[in-house]
Chain A
């Protein structure tokens, strides 16, 4: 079945450093979503990418969707302690309409 892989699993950065997490799918995706989960919290939707090669920005966060629509990345510029949490990518399962397959997530720790 479809697999969505994320790397790295963990990332520790000093406040002010940049951070990037990568997402790779075993199949072509119609779209990809990104979620953030704060420690002790629940996943919260950040953004959805649909078009091949699409780039979207939210303040210090930059999201990219690969040309082949099989990979995506999230880049945070100048991390802050508020960026701490787990970042998940998710894509349609391909087998069941409406179902998302989540990656394992990247746990980001920011040291002040």
Chain B
């Protein structure tokens, strides 16, 4: 298996632009998680899905952030409009539906908003 796939790996954009991050989870995994990592705040859970349905989006910072999972093999995290404080590494992770199973993280997208 190729593992969790994320794209792009690096994104540099200007303030106010729309940013879309993409994730392909491991086949057969029923849970998908979006995390944000910064030096100041550490690893934060933004939102997670179970069987393509959003379960908990309490970590989404504000309305500028949205996430979708149209099918079991694809998810997007969108920021519109982006701001410099959104600069971070965004990780996607997936896990099987066996109750608190290990999470497999993707390589991450390093986002820089100028």
> Is the pair B42, A104 in contact by a Cβ cutoff of 8 Å?
yes
25 examples of A-B residue contacts, CB within 8 angstroms: A33-B103, A42-B107, A42-B108, A43-B43, A43-B91, A44-B105, A45-B102, A45-B104, A48-B102, A88-B43, A96-B48, A96-B55, A97-B50, A97-B55, A98-B31, A98-B50, A98-B55, A98-B97, A98-B100, A99-B45, A100-B45, A100-B103, A102-B43, A104-B42, A105-B43
* B75 on the A face (CB < 8 A): no
Complex contacts, A31 vs chain B, CB 8 Å: 100
Interface size on B, residues (CB 8 A): 22
> Is the pair A96, B91 in contact by a Cβ cutoff of 8 Å?
no
Q: Residues of A with Cβ closer than 8 Å to B? A: 30-31, 33, 41-45, 48, 88, 92, 96-102, 104-105
The chain A residue sitting closest to B91, CB to CB, is: A42
